[in-house]
């Protein structure tokens, strides 16, 4: 059995995730990690910055909103991602369709409990909202609620609890339409760090609409893309990243027929034909944002995280901003209120690496400019550094 040790895994990470060898475009950067995490809008931009030389905010915005070669989707693990538009049909069938079905059942229960209507009523509101958006071409949720007043229908959440509240169903309906591949989040109101989305019909990105694939076929293709980027990896890693059931993971792997390798005593998988050693790249340093796809790419992270989990992850398993060197995490960073980018190294890395980290911190601060990047999920080191 072929052994792939930690050093080779780190070399693969640096090369394939475009951290040691820059990608030519934002789309290539996204494809190198299958999808960019997008729970925080800033993560998309900073993840691209770390992987594409001489890229700026405007170049990422062009790919997202003008060229429309990147697309926001609710996908794996019910998490927001940005994917290359060409990959959207695979992600849709492999992940988003199941999320839409689950969320629709959940929202229907709430709507029935509030005596608003049933599943058919919810579908009718969705269809009416989609028609209103098609007529406008682009709109915010507030604008659409003037066209379809039922979007302002109120539902009480956690009634009787101290944290209970009422909310309208606008967000639910827009989420369902997006998860079904019928509408897409477009350019937000405000800056590149904003979450105040404008919405557009999916035809604005895919003129013929979202192509429909069989779920089984799509899961095989998504697993193939993931193993190409993240392999060698364990079955547990793939199941965690996709959010699939054990049965779906087994079905996809049976079709792929990957090769088993030895990860220093633990069984791992690579695609057939992917056993050749990867040459060690030149030394590299990277400042990755909170929830970057590389840091969140595996469920078993000891080989690149070391013993830094307590400082860099929150209690729910969300990673904060990290500093990397040659395929491993060596520290964390944050932005202070005055815009300064500060960092802390969590291990001795030597003088040359420390100097490269210091230089990179200045480059990140210059790139962010007047914007302020505050992660949605605050981690211990990030909170301490930003204070």
Question: Rounded to the nearest 10 degrees, what angle do helices 235-242 and 215-230 cross at?
Answer: 120
Determine the Cα–Cα distance for residues 195 and 359; give it in Å rounded to an integer: 31
Q: Average pLDDT for residues 328-348, to the nearest whole number?
A: 97
Q: What pLDDT, in 10s, does the model give residues 120-138?
A: 999 999 999 999 999 999 9
Q: At 166, is the pLDDT very low, low, confident or very high (cuts 50, 70, 90)?
A: confident
- Tokens linked to 127: 């269809």
- Burial call 125-158: b when 16+ CB within 10 Å, e when fewer: bbebbbebbeebeebbbeebbeebebbebebeee
Q: How far apart are CA 301 and CA 6, in angstroms?
A: 11
Residue 31 has pLDDT above 90, yes or no: yes
- pLDDT value of position 349: 95
Residue 236 pLDDT: 97
Compute the distance between CA of residue 322 and CA of residue 195 in angstroms, rounded to an integer: 23
pLDDT at 158: 62
* Mean pLDDT calculated for residue range 67-74: 97
Q: What is the pLDDT of residues 244-261, one digit of tens each?
A: 999 999 999 999 999 999
Question: Do residues 268 and 261 touch, judged by C-beta distance below 8 A?
Answer: yes
Check residues 192 and 165 and name the one with the higher pLDDT. Answer: 192
Q: Please give the distance of CA 346 from its chain centroid, rounded to a whole number.
A: 26
- The whole-number average pLDDT for the span 58-81 is 97
Reference 26, options 44, 8, 13; nearest CA is 44
| Residue 162 pLDDT level (bands cut at 50, 70, 90) | low
Specify the range with the lowest mean pLDDT, choosing from 8-22, 144-158, 203-217, 316-330: 144-158
Q: Residue written as tokens 């405000």? A: 190
**Cα 264 from chain centroid?**
29
């Amino acid at each position: 059995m072929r052994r792939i040790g930690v050093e080779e895994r780190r070399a693969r990470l640096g090369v394939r995730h475009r951290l040691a060898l820059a990608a030519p475009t934002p789309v290539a950067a996204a494809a190198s990690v299958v999808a960019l995490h997008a729970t925080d809008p800033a993560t998309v931009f900073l993840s691209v910055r770390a992987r594409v030389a001489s890229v700026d905010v405007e170049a990422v915005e062009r790919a997202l909103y003008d060229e429309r070669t990147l697309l926001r989707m609710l996908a794996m693990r019910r998490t927001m991602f940005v994917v290359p538009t060409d990959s959207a049909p695979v992600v849709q069938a492999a992940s988003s369709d199941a999320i839409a079905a689950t969320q629709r059942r959940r929202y229907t229960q709430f709507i029935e409990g509030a005596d608003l209507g049933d599943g058919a009523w919810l579908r009718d509101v969705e269809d009416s909202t989609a028609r209103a958006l098609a007529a406008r071409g682009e709109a915010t949720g507030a604008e659409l609620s003037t066209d379809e007043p039922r979007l302002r229908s109120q539902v009480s959440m956690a009634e009787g609890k101290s944290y209970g509240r009422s909310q309208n169903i606008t967000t639910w309906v827009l989420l369902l339409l997006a998860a079904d591949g019928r509408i897409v989040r477009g350019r937000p109101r405000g800056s590149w760090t904003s979450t105040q989305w404008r919405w557009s019909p999916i035809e604005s990105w895919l003129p013929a609409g979202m192509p429909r694939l069989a779920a089984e076929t799509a899961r095989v293709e998504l697993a193939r893309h993931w193993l190409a980027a993240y392999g060698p990896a364990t079955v547990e890693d793939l199941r965690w990243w996709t959010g699939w059931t054990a049965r779906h993971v087994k079905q996809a792997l049976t079709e792929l027929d990957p090769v088993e390798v030895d990860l220093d005593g633990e069984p791992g998988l690579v695609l057939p034909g992917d056993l050749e050693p990867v040459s060690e790249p030149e030394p590299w340093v990277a400042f990755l944002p909170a929830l970057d796809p590389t840091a969140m790419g595996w469920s078993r992270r000891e080989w690149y995280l070391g013993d830094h989990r307590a400082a860099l992850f929150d209690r729910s398993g969300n990673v904060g901003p990290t500093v990397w060197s040659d395929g491993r995490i060596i520290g964390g960073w944050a932005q202070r209120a005055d815009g300064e980018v500060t960092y802390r190294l969590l291990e001795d890395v030597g003088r040359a690496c420390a100097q490269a980290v210091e230089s990179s911190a200045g480059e990140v601060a210059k790139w962010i400019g007047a914007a302020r990047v505050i992660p949605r999920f605050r981690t211990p080191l990030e909170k301490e550094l930003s204070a």
